[in-house]
Structure 1
Amino acid sequence: MISIDLSQKTVLITGAKSGIGKGIADLFLEAGARVALADVAFKEDFKIVSEKLAHLHLDVTRKEEIEKAVDTLTAFWEPIDVLVNSAGISTMDFAIDIKENDWDRVMAVNAKGTYLVSQVVARQMTDRGISGRIINIASQAGKNGYRCMGNYCASKHAVLGFTKVMAIELAAKGILVNAICPGIVETPMKKRERVDGAKLRGLTPEQIYQEDCSQVPLGRTAQPADVANVALFLASPLSAYMTGQAINVTGGMTMH
């Protein structure tokens, strides 16, 4: 029987206090990894929770915070083997009504944050000769357009473009860079989006939920664990011949 053992790996996951990031963290801990959960919602700069778990306060839009967090983490544990960029936010509005500060905020966290954290960690990996993994949590919104989500879609298209470039440039260093494109995942952010989207479209959140389910061939929306399973595969030796990929986890909703 094949099992995935990450007991010798140090993993940094951004946006890990809830949602997809937390789901990935939970599964990686089960696989034995040392996991640092980084999130702007954590109060302490660095807190050891257990032998295998740490919490980091991290604003992914601030390079100096990222550099400090990475230095602190690697000084306490080992160099980072796996980075999961899961930090992400969204706002809802029709394209012609998107406020400039909402555009800037979503692009800063989703696109700039992925670029900054990846850059800092990739430099550490190359400096220390680590054959690492970078896993970017993009979205099927990085391949399609969805009403009331213009800034979010733009940010996730940017994540996919940057994933491909990093994959090309870091391949010779033994660093594999891939993205996961989740579909509709039941997270606190998705529940808030249904409320906001319902107001914009004159519907109820329940109607939005039913609409979501009707678009998925498998007949249900995803749970964070569905995404975490693919992240675990990408962090493992089983994906050793994959880089620059954008893997759909959408229940068949997106097929390209």
Structure 2
Amino acid sequence: MNRAAVVTGSSRGIGRAIALRLAKDGFDVAVNDIESNHSDLEKVRQEIESMGRKSIAIIADVSKSEKVEEMMEEVVEKLGSLDVVIANAGICYVKSLLEISADEWDEVFAVNMRGVFLCYREAAKIMIKQGKGGKIIGACSTAGYRGYPMISHYSATKWGVRGLTQAAAQEWARHNITVNAYCPGRIDTRMTQTCNEELAKLRGLTVEENESNSVKNIPIGRTGQPDDVANVVSFLASKDSDYITGQSILINGGLSFS
């Protein structure tokens, strides 16, 4: 019987890597993002289909309750079931805590925290109804264990994801649903590149200097790649992780510890 997964925010970066890895693992994969990323999302869908798996592309804003509900139902309707949900979508930008407006704060929480909550909730409803358990996996961050200056809003959302993951894991364990999160550190994505550029300006450094200084703090000695994260998510989505739940796993080259 085919297994189906959905990965939010999967038009590029970590989300794309996860979607492709799950397809390689034998899942049919629904990919999701917002309208502005439609073209890149279609390319990911085509890549998955070229691997011999079914795929659908769903445009939906994960901060909208009705859109998340519709997305999960569409996955079941078109791919036959809902076995794994990866709540990956997230946003981040660099700004001083004194300068963040209430609207900007709410925007980051809408995607990074509310979006994960909605994906967790709607996925669990369907998985409980299906009666065969499932895997729910959320995007946390190294910033979910240590708050970082200039991204306080982002840090706060990721601490929230970690708490939500622990609570959900305990509530849904009796339904054979595991709930875990992955916590990337410095990963080579467009979002990281943008943050690096903004931080370099604030510190009066070149982009290359700021990047070099950041990498010096990583014991393994390199910036992570999206596949480094996808490898861990692959494990969490597999039966090999059946006895693991409520955990938020750091993937940061030894930058920090739980």
Identify whether the pair has TM-score above 0.5, normalized to the shorter chain: yes
- Runs of 5+ in structure 1 lacking a partner? 1-6
> After alignment, is 214-223 or 65-74 more displaced?
65-74
Mapping for residues 224-239 of structure 1, pairs under 5 Å:
224-239=226-241
Mapping for residues 69-80 of structure 1, pairs under 5 Å:
69-80=71-82
Mapped to 1, the partners of 2:163 and 2:90 lie a distance apart of 16
The aligned amino acid for 1:35 is: V
The structure 1 residue matched to 2:165, chosen from 163, 166, 179, is 163
Q: Is the 8 A contact 2:139 2:182 kept in 1?
A: yes
The aligned amino acid for 2:212 is: Q
> Could you tell me which residue of structure 1 aligns to residue 214 of structure 2?
212
> Could you tell me which residue of structure 1 aligns to residue 69 of structure 2?
67
> Could you tell me which residue of structure 1 aligns to residue 252 of structure 2?
250
> Could you tell me which residue of structure 1 aligns to residue 183 of structure 2?
181
Mapped to 1, the partners of 2:30 and 2:256 lie a distance apart of 31
Alpha carbon RMSD of aligned pairs, Å?
1.7
> Could you tell me which residue of structure 1 aligns to residue 31 of structure 2?
37
The structure 2 residue matched to 1:10, chosen from 4, 10, 21, is 4
The aligned amino acid for 1:206 is: E
Task: List per-residue Cα deviations over 1:164-215 (Å, max 9, x = no partner).
Answer: 0000000011000001111100001000111111222222221221122111
Mapping for residues 68-147 of structure 1, pairs under 5 Å:
68-147=70-149
Q: Is the 8 A contact 1:60 1:116 kept in 2?
A: yes
Go from structure 1 to structure 2 and tell me whether the alpha carbon gap of 1:122 and 1:244 turns closer, same or farther (over 3 Å shift): same
Q: Is the 8 A contact 2:89 2:112 kept in 1?
A: yes
The aligned amino acid for 2:163 is: G
Displacement of 1:74 in angstroms is 1.0
Query: What TM-score results when the alignment is normalised by the length of structure 2?
Result: 0.92
Q: Is the 8 A contact 2:170 2:246 kept in 1?
A: yes
- Runs of 5+ in structure 2 lacking a partner? none
Mapped to 2, the partners of 1:76 and 1:93 lie a distance apart of 41
Displacement of 1:238 in angstroms is 0.8
Mapped to 1, the partners of 2:82 and 2:23 lie a distance apart of 15
Go from structure 1 to structure 2 and tell me whether the alpha carbon gap of 1:210 and 1:42 turns closer, same or farther (over 3 Å shift): closer
Displacement of 1:11 in angstroms is 0.4
How many matched pairs? Answer: 249
Q: Secondary structure at the match of 2:167?
A: helix
Mapped to 2, the partners of 1:130 and 1:86 lie a distance apart of 23
Q: Is the 8 A contact 1:63 1:116 kept in 2?
A: yes
> After alignment, is 33-42 or 135-144 more displaced?
33-42
Task: List per-residue Cα deviations over 1:31-87 (Å, max 9, x = no partner).
Answer: 12101111114549x987535222110100001111112222211111210000110
Q: Percentage identity across aligned positions?
A: 36
Mapped to 2, the partners of 1:199 and 1:61 lie a distance apart of 31
The aligned amino acid for 1:11 is: A
> After alignment, is 148-157 or 34-43 more displaced?
34-43
Q: Is the 8 A contact 2:54 2:79 kept in 1?
A: no
